[in-house]
Structure formats: structure tokens, C-alpha cells
């Protein structure tokens, strides 16, 4: 199908071109050819009526766990890429905490080829910072970048050794990739299972204080400042963390940061009743933290929305809270939740949302897309901003159903996902 596609009469929203108007978008041979009014397509063009729909540069999720290799019962690269496409994403960045971890060029190559084979959303590999994610010595970062890695991280775990983190930031400078960190001081949070506060005290669950995240955010900012390297802070969840990033950006530190839909919407009250679907790392925090993360996303302190899509098999979550693994799936709910709760509640406007879910992710990780400028790759998301639906985890394309949003009624749904000029999902 990668011939010609005309997206007719949609609200074309491309913050990269400051464009927000009803237009036709013409895709030819995998590229954006023209954007204009009442375009006349070639006879062989596939015309998609986009009346009352929004047409945006393809959404990109820079933080997903696809579990392959090693935990294919939770997710595979194929099911993950399809879930992404169904959620309106044209590209995802796969975290390397698989089994074995993606810490060498061969493993990176495996992710690249499996991603191509899936033929859904693009799958970009992210490599490990350290060999085996053990936090001891640098992995083959240069060779992994050559093989297709777009960033490095030991996500799932922080880099506890500040000296190693400094080396990673310095060494990565040569390759122009960000070093992504899961900021958490394990000494402070190691035994915790949820946010430390009144709820954890009431439930009798060991908590993780904000300070566990804040100390590492501060450290990473200082190291980025020291080295001139590019730090990308993953799933920022604390008010002070947001503020420290804001100040660092003002000083010119090369930092980018993520907010997840769950940290933008839920507080630790969601854990009430020992709901393991609300167990993730970093944990859901306080009302004040949610407000700060929202403000950070609105003013651009937090550059991107990323889901931290973390599939787990149902029987692993069907356990006592302290026995259940961390993580929630997000690919198939992210767009709708952001539209319903962030745009719907007036925290950000629609162009800002598209910026945080498409333009900024492409910029931060140096990926294709993030724009509909003619000549660019034809990665496009078409969604219906008014479609109301109820989140039914059983209907997910993902292999896993671990979401705290099951049963929520949300507004906004992907209608068509186009990757490289090819329709990979249509609803």
C-alpha cells in the first residue's frame, strides 16, 4: 500500500510547522508530498476521508518495554509494535532490560530486524549503558549505535555508580545520543513498594520517598552539567524533580525529561485496596506531585509524554502487593488519557499535546518523523478527538492487561496509523 495516500479534509495539526487548519495531506512513496486545500490525488491514490478527524505527525513513545527476548509471555516485539500502532504510535523506543539485556550490537540488530518484521510501528532499540545492566562498566555503546541504537539506558534500574554515569555521559557525546536514566537511589527506595506517605503508612506497605528520585535527578543534572553530555530523565514523578530540571534547563544543561500518563493522572490513592495494577516504579505520588508534573509538561520542562509501557502476565499481578511486579501497560490508552484528562481538563492544549507526543520525542531521541513537512517521512497519526470509548483491557492488542485504567470512559481514539506511507492500523 505504500503508494499514494490522500488524507482528505482533516484538521491537520503540526506544531513543527505551526500548522493547525483543515487541509489535505498527500503522501507519496513513503514521504509527505504536499499539504494543501482540495488536493487532486492521482487516480491510483488511496483516499482516506478525515472529516472531523485530527491529522498529526506520527506519535512516538520513547519508553516502552517489549519484553523480547526472554519474556515473550508478557509481550513480543511484534505484539508490542501492533499495540503501539493501535494506540496511534508510529514509533516506539524499546528498553534494553530484556533477558538477556540488549547490551551488544547483535542484540540491537535482533530488535531492529524483529521490529521490521512486525510491520507495525517502528521499533527503535535502546541499548544498555553498562554490560549486563550490572552498573560496572560501559557496554559497547559505539557499536550499538552503529547497529541502530538511538539511546542508552539501564532502565529498570538506575546507574548507582556516579562515576560510571559520568563516563557514560562523556562517552556518548561522540555519538550524539542521549543517556537515559531511571533516577532512583536504591539505598533510599530499595525495599519500597509504593510512594512513601500517609497511604503507605496506612496500608502498612514499605514506601519509597520522593527523595530517592530527587537525589538521582540532582546527581544526573550535575553530571550533565559537568560533562556537557545529554541526560534524558525517565518518568519524572516528583515536584522537586520537575523544579530541579526547570532550573537546570535555565542554566543551559542539556537535559530532556519524560512524564508518563499515569504520573500525570493518578496519585498514590490509586493503590488503595492493594491494587497491583497501580504498582509501578517510580510509584504514583501525591496530589502536589501530580500538579507539578502537569505544570512541567505544560511549560516544556518535561519534554515528552512516554508511557513506560511495562507488560506483565496477569498471574504475576494477581498476587499480594509486595509480591507483584512493577509496571503498567500504556500504549493503547496513552493518547485517549492525555486527550481526556490533560487536554480535556485544560492543562495543555491540543497542539502542545502533539508537540509532547510527536515533535519532542523525535527531537530528543533524533528519530525520523515528528513533522509533516513535505519531504519528511510519511509517519502520520489520524485520530478522532470526539470518539468516546471504555477501556477494556481484554481488547488490548498487547499481550498484557495490567492497567489501572480498565473501565474508564475516555474520549479520543486513533483511527489510522501510517508508517512510512503504509497504513499499519485502521479502525
Partner 1 sequence: MNQMTSPLGKDLVGLERLSGQQIRAILDTAEPFKEISERRIKKVPVLRGKTIVNLFFEASTRTRVSFEFAEKRLSADTVNIAAASSSVSKGETLVDTARNLEAMRIDMVVMRHGSSGAARFLADRIPSNVINAGDGWHEHPTQGLLDMLTIRDHMGRLDGLKVCIVGDIRHSRVARSNIYGLLKMGAEVAVCGPQTLLPQGIGDLGVHVLSRVEDAIQWADVLNVLRLQLERMQAGYVPSLREYNRIWGVSTARLERAPRDLLILHPGPMNRGVEIDSDVADGPHSVILNQVTNGVAVRMAVLYLLAGGQPEKAEAAKQGGEA
Q: Does 203 bind partner 1 (CB under 8 A)?
A: yes
* Residues β-bridged to residue 410: 389
Q: Does 201 bind partner 1 (CB under 8 A)?
A: yes
Count residues contacting partner 1 (CB under 8 A)?
21
How many other CB atoms are there within 10 angstroms of residue 204's CB atom? 9
Q: Does 202 bind partner 1 (CB under 8 A)?
A: yes
Distance CA 90, CA 378 (A): 10
Which span (64-72, 119-127, 190-198, 325-333) binds partner 1, by CB under 8 A?
A: 190-198
Q: Does 373 bind partner 1 (CB under 8 A)?
A: no
Provide φ and ψ at 89, rounded to 5°. Answer: -90, 135
Q: Does 268 bind partner 1 (CB under 8 A)?
A: no
For the bound state, the minimum distance from the C-beta of residue 179 to partner 1, rounded and expressed in Å, comes to 32
For the bound state, the minimum distance from the C-beta of residue 271 to partner 1, rounded and expressed in Å, comes to 9
* Residues β-bridged to residue 194: 207
Q: Does 288 bind partner 1 (CB under 8 A)?
A: no
Q: Say if residues 245 and 221 touch (Cβ distance below 8 Å).
A: yes
Which span (25-33, 193-201, 362-370, 380-388) binds partner 1, by CB under 8 A?
A: 193-201
Provide φ and ψ at 288, rounded to 5°. Answer: -65, -40
- 316-335 footprint of partner 1 as x/- string (CB under 8 A): --xxxxxx------------
Nearer to partner 1, 279 or 399 (CB): 279
Q: Does 252 bind partner 1 (CB under 8 A)?
A: no
List 163, 176, 204, 346, residue binding partner 1 (CB under 8 A):
204
Q: Say if residues 348 and 342 touch (Cβ distance below 8 Å).
A: yes
List 78, 90, 172, 200, residue binding partner 1 (CB under 8 A):
200
CA nearest to 234, candidates 295, 304, 171: 304
Nearer to partner 1, 85 or 278 (CB): 278
308 a catalytic residue: yes
Q: How far apart are the first and last CA of the chain?
A: 17
* Residues β-bridged to residue 31: 28, 377
CA nearest to 237, candidates 308, 343, 316: 308
How does 368-383 read in b/e, with b if 16+ C-beta sit within 10 Å?
Answer: bbbbbeeebbbbbbbb
Which span (51-59, 171-179, 192-200, 357-365) binds partner 1, by CB under 8 A?
A: 192-200
Nearer to partner 1, 119 or 190 (CB): 190
Q: Does 274 bind partner 1 (CB under 8 A)?
A: yes
Taking CA atoms, 177 is separated from 38, 88, 171, 174, 327, in Å, by: 41, 25, 10, 8, 26
Q: Does 313 bind partner 1 (CB under 8 A)?
A: no
Looking from the CA of 73 toward its CB, the CA atoms found within 13 Å total 5
The catalytic position among 24, 308, 355, 384 is: 308
List 62, 85, 180, 205, residue binding partner 1 (CB under 8 A):
205
For the bound state, the minimum distance from the C-beta of residue 213 to partner 1, rounded and expressed in Å, comes to 15
Distance CA 17, CA 10 (A): 16
Catalytically active residues are 308
- The residues that touch partner 1, with contacts defined as CB under 8 A, are 196-198, 200-207, 209, 273-274, 315, 318-323
Amino acid at each position: 500500500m505504500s503508494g499514494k495516500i490522500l488524507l482528505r479534509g482533516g484538521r491537520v495539526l503540526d506544531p513543527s510547522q505551526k500548522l493547525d487548519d483543515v487541509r489535505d495531506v498527500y503522501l507519496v512513496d513513503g514521504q509527505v508530498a504536499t499539504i494543501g486545500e482540495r488536493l487532486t490525488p492521482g487516480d491510483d491514490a488511496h483516499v482516506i476521508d478525515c472529516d472531523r478527524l485530527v491529522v498529526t505527525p506520527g506519535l512516538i513513545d520513547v519508553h516502552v518495554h517489549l519484553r523480547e527476548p526472554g519474556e515473550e509471555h508478557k509481550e513480543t516485539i511484534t505484539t508490542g509494535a501492533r499495540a503501539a500502532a493501535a494506540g496511534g504510535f508510529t514509533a516506539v523506543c524499546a528498553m534494553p532490560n530484556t533477558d538477556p539485556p540488549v547490551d551488544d550490537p547483535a542484540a540491537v540488530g535482533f530488535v531492529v530486524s524483529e521490529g521490521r518484521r512486525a510491520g507495525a510501528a517502528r521499533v527503535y532499540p535502546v541499548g544498555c549503558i553498562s554490560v549486563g545492566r550490572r552498573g560496572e562498566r560501559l557496554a559497547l555503546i559505539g557499536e550499538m549505535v552503529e547497529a541502530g541504537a538511538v539511546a542508552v539506558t539501564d532502565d529498570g534500574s538506575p546507574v548507582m555508580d556516579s562515576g560510571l554515569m559520568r563516563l557514560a555521559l562523556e562517552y556518548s557525546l561522540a555519538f550524539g545520543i542521549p543517556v537515559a536514566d531511571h533516577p532512583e537511589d536504591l539505598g533510599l527506595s530499595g525495599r519500597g513498594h509504593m510512594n512513601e506517605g500517609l497511604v503507605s503508612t496506612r496500608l502498612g506497605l514499605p514506601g519509597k520517598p520522593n527523595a530517592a528520585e530527587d537525589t538521582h535527578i540532582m546527581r544526573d543534572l550535575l553530571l550533565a552539567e559537568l560533562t556537557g553530555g545529554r541526560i534524558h530523565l525517565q518518568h519524572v514523578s516528583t515536584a522537586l524533580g520537575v523544579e530541579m530540571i526547570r532550573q537546570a534547563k535555565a542554566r543551559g544543561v542539556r537535559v530532556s525529561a519524560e512524564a508518563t500518563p499515569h504520573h500525570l493522572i493518578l496519585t498514590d490513592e490509586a493503590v488503595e485496596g492493594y491494587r497491583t495494577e497501580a504498582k509501578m516504579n517510580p510509584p504514583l505520588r501525591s496530589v502536589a506531585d501530580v500538579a507539578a508534573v502537569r505544570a512541567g509538561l505544560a511549560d516544556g520542562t518535561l519534554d515528552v509524554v512516554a508511557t513506560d509501557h511495562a507488560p506483565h502476565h496477569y498471574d504475576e499481578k494477581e498476587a499480594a502487593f509486595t509480591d507483584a511486579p512493577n509496571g503498567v501497560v500504556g500504549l493503547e490508552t496513552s493518547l485517549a488519557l492525555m486527550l481526556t484528562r490533560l487536554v480535556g481538563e485544560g492543562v495543555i492544549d491540543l497542539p502542545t499535546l502533539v508537540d509532547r507526543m510527536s515533535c519532542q520525542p523525535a527531537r530528543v531521541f533524533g528519530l525520523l518523523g515528528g513533522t509533516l513537512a513535505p519531504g519528511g517521512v510519511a509517519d502520520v497519526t489520524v485520530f478522532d478527538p470526539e470518539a468516546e470509548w471504555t477501556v477494556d483491557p481484554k481488547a488490548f492488542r498487547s499481550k498484557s492487561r495490567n492497567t489501572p485504567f480498565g473501565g474508564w470512559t475516555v474520549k479520543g481514539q486513533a483511527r489510522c496509523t501510517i508508517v512510512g506511507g503504509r497504513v499499519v492500523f485502521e479502525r
